[in-house]
Amino acid sequence: MVKYIKIAETKDIPPNTMQVFKLKEIEILVVNVEGKYYAFENRCPHLGYPLYYGNLNGEVLICGFHSAKFNVKTGESLGAVTQESLKVFRTTIRNSSLLIEQDS
Ligand code: FES
């Protein structure tokens, strides 16, 4: 069964920006690319540093520490720094709320 947990209002994440929200003990990075929302654990799979200090270049998220690149739409690694993908959370919008889907 899927649970939906509200973590933000969509207005809090303007297009082409990213924000961090807490869900229990997990920091979740939400990225808005042209009005679509993508959510990941705020932890780079290379050495574990926060992705929030990185940059967005269109659909590419670039870690601010050693420049690992990830496809925002899939979470997949795009370069040689790490082969590991981001931990992806599925998102849904209901009214103006951004919800994270969690299997229970
Ligand atoms: S911690 Fe992100 S690239 Fe090294």
The per-residue pLDDT for range 28-76, each reduced to its tens digit, is 999 999 999 999 999 999 999 999 999 999 999 999 999 999 999 999 9
Q: What's the average model confidence in pLDDT over 86-101?
A: 96
pLDDT at 104: 73
46 lines ligand 1 (CB under 6 A): yes
By residue range, what is the domain housing residue 48? 4-101
What is the β-pairing status of strands 97-103 and 26-33?
A: unpaired
DSSP string, 16-75: TEEEEEEETTEEEEEEEETTEEEEEESS-TTT---GGGSEEETTEEE-TTT--EEETTT-
Predicted TM-score (pTM) of the model is 0.94
Closest atom of ligand 1 to CA, residue 44: 2
How many domains is the chain built from? Answer: 1
52 lines ligand 1 (CB under 6 A): no
CATH code of the domain covering residue 74? 2.102.10.10
In whole angstroms, give the CA distance from residue 27 to residue 50: 9
51 lines ligand 1 (CB under 6 A): no
Instruction: Give one word for 34, left, alpha or beta, with left for phi > 0 and alpha for psi -120 to 50.
Output: left
Amino acid (1-letter code) at residue 64: G
Distance from residue 44's CA to the centre of ligand 1 (Å) = 6
In whole angstroms, give the CA distance from residue 57 to residue 94: 27
